[in-house]
């Protein structure tokens, strides 16, 4: 789960939303109507949680792929369905969700047959069923209090249960493309008003902030820095240039972890680069910042205490590779004489984390221990940034003419509202396509195809 959205508008109703996401990129939103936090209104699902989270936190409307509208029906029996959708066992579309609800018989009707789900709510029908159910409940209480005909009371109780089932079914709907719009919180508005004259930081200013934070880690003034957001804007390149500028040598002063990394390997890497002035750079290795064991190792290595003790509590021995034996004095020998890593050590180095994830998706304990630089830019900012540095991008391959044509076409795609990420990577790709002697129409067709396949928004990564 991630922090809640205090107020958002769905179906013209102000709602309270709690978000959840899975590592496969899928996300869900549990929706309660404001003023009625005991009954769940609906559950929304998306195939792209990153996009939903960023949009909602930027105050923008986001259309969730599918909504399972409960309108007060019990959530208890739908929990497994939510788990199945989030894990990918149930396809995230209206037809599949309807079928899953029927197959599971989550909302039973008379004679235990699952009724066909309505595609649209009917408030009058629901209100009428609610009145009939409540009136019948009161009659049952009165008859029982007066010791009237038990047989008649039993008939009324059976009818009451039938009405409950019918009401539950009437309350359920599955809909596509449901828009959710954040509603500004008055307290937040008041706080923002205090800073309304503050100018949004430019990309240059944010990169300057990033360089300051990274330099502090390199110099040992801070234990960690977290640089997140905006794929393809040169985060890694700039950071590595700073590290090399300080005379750091890979394999001696620092190491980079990319891709998948187990907690055991992370423990080894922290150990091997534990000294003051040494660095561990975690670049686009999101397993580390989403895995609970790895998170705890990072927390220990970047703690604010005087002694940062990193421990690996597993009973599994971590054997020392032959080429590393003798490099560290704290290596131990087991009963068979094999060299193993110690169970714990003091970490004095620095950790730099680079990720395309949004800051809000990263464990709060990691964030609280790091200087954070969020490099999420608008499309206009990215285009302007690419335009400024374009003369220095692959000058040995790309001509000024192909770069200018690439910028012009990317600008037109951005203005058309095409759902794709524009970055340094996409600029280089488009520029290379303009090196071709093919007709303009063929080049533009190839660009659109490649942008759609490589850089279209969708999934956890771009």
Q: Which residue has the higher pLDDT, 11 or 282?
A: 282
Q: Which of 65-79, 104-118, 266-280, 408-422 has the lowest mean pLDDT?
A: 104-118
CA atoms of 100 and 103, how far apart (whole Å): 5
pLDDT above 90 for 125: no
Tens of pLDDT, residues 191-234: 555 554 455 678 888 999 999 999 999 999 999 999 998 778 88
Residues 252 and 127 in one domain: no
The domain tally of the chain equals 4
Residues 27 and 69 in one domain: yes
Residues 66 and 55 in one domain: yes
Cβ–Cβ under 8 Å, residues 319 and 339 = yes
Strand order in the sheet with 254-258: 254-258, 279-283, 350-355, 224-228, 371-374
**Cα separation values, 213 from 256, 298, 337, 368, 371, Å:** 18, 18, 44, 14, 6
Residues 446 and 356 in one domain: no
Residue 462 lies in a domain: no
Q: Say whether pTM exceeds 0.85.
A: no
Residues 45 and 154 in one domain: no
> Of 353, 374, 395, which one is at a domain's C-terminal end?
374
Residues 112 and 128 in one domain: no
pLDDT above 60 for 187: no
Residues 241 and 320 in one domain: yes
Give the percent of the chain with pLDDT over 70: 82
Residues 30 and 111 in one domain: yes
CA atoms of 304 and 48, how far apart (whole Å): 35
Q: In the chain, count of helices (H) and strands (E)?
A: 15, 15
Q: Which residue has the higher pLDDT, 172 or 130?
A: 130
Residue 460 lies in a domain: no
Residue 359 lies in a domain: yes
Range of the domain at 406: 379-455
- Which residue matches tokens 């869900």? 28
Residues 163 and 68 in one domain: no
CA atoms of 451 and 117, how far apart (whole Å): 39
Residues 156 and 284 in one domain: no
pLDDT above 90 for 273: yes
Q: What is the mean pLDDT of residues 333-343?
A: 91
- What's 116's DSSP letter? P
Residue 461 lies in a domain: no
Tens of pLDDT, residues 274-326: 999 999 999 988 888 888 899 999 999 999 888 899 998 777 889 999 889 88
Residues 104 and 129 in one domain: no
Residues 150 and 236 in one domain: no
What local confidence, expressed as pLDDT, does residue 456 receive? Answer: 62
């Amino acid at each position: 789960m991630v922090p809640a959205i205090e107020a958002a508008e769905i179906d013209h109703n102000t709602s309270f939303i709690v978000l959840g996401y899975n590592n496969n990129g899928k996300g869900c939103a549990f929706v309660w109507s404001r003023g009625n936090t005991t009954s769940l209104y609906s559950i929304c699902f998306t195939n792209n949680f990153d996009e939903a989270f960023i949009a909602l936190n930027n105050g923008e409307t986001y259309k969730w792929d599918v909504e399972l509208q409960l309108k007060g029906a019990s959530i208890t029996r739908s929990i497994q369905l939510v788990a199945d959708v989030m894990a990918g066992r149930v396809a995230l579309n209206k037809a599949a969700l309807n079928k899953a609800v029927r197959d599971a018989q989550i909302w039973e009707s008379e004679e235990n047959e699952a009724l066909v789900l309505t595609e649209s709510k009917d408030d009058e029908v629901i209100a009428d069923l609610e009145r009939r159910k409540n009136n019948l409940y009161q009659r049952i209480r009165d008859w029982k209090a007066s010791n009237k005909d038990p047989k008649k009371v039993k008939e009324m109780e059976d009818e009451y249960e039938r009405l409950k089932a019918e009401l539950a079914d009437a309350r359920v709907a599955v809909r596509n493309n449901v828009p959710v719009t954040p509603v500004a919180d008055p307290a937040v508005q008041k706080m923002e008003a205090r800073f309304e004259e503050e100018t949004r930081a430019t990309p240059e200013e944010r990169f300057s902030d990033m360089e300051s934070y990274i330099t502090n880690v390199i110099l040992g003034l801070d234990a960690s820095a977290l640089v997140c957001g905006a794929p393809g804007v040169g985060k890694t390149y700039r950071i590595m240039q700073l590290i090399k500028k300080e005379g750091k040598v890979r394999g001696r002063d620092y190491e980079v972890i990319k891709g998948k990394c187990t907690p055991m390997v992370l423990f080894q890497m922290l150990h091997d680069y534990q000294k003051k002035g040494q660095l561990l750079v975690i670049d686009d290795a999101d397993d580390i910042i989403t895995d609970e064991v790895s998170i705890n190792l990072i927390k220990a290595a970047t703690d604010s205490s005087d002694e940062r003790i990193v421990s690996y509590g597993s009973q599994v021995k971590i054997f020392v590779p032959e080429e590393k034996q003798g490099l560290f004095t704290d290596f131990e020998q087991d009963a068979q004489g094999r060299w193993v890593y110690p169970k714990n050590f003091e970490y004095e180095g620095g950790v730099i984390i680079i990720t395309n994830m949004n800051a809000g998706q990263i464990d709060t304990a990691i964030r609280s221990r790091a200087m954070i630089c969020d490099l999420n830019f608008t499309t206009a900012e990215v285009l302007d940034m690419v335009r400024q540095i374009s003369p220095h991008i692959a000058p040995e391959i790309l001509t000024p003419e192909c770069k200018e044509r690439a910028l012009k076409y990317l600008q037109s795609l951005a203005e058309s509202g095409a759902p794709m990420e524009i970055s340094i990577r996409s600029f280089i790709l488009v520029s290379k396509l303009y090196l071709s002697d093919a007709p303009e129409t063929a080049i533009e067709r190839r660009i659109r195809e490649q942008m759609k396949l490589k850089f279209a928004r969708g999934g956890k990564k771009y």
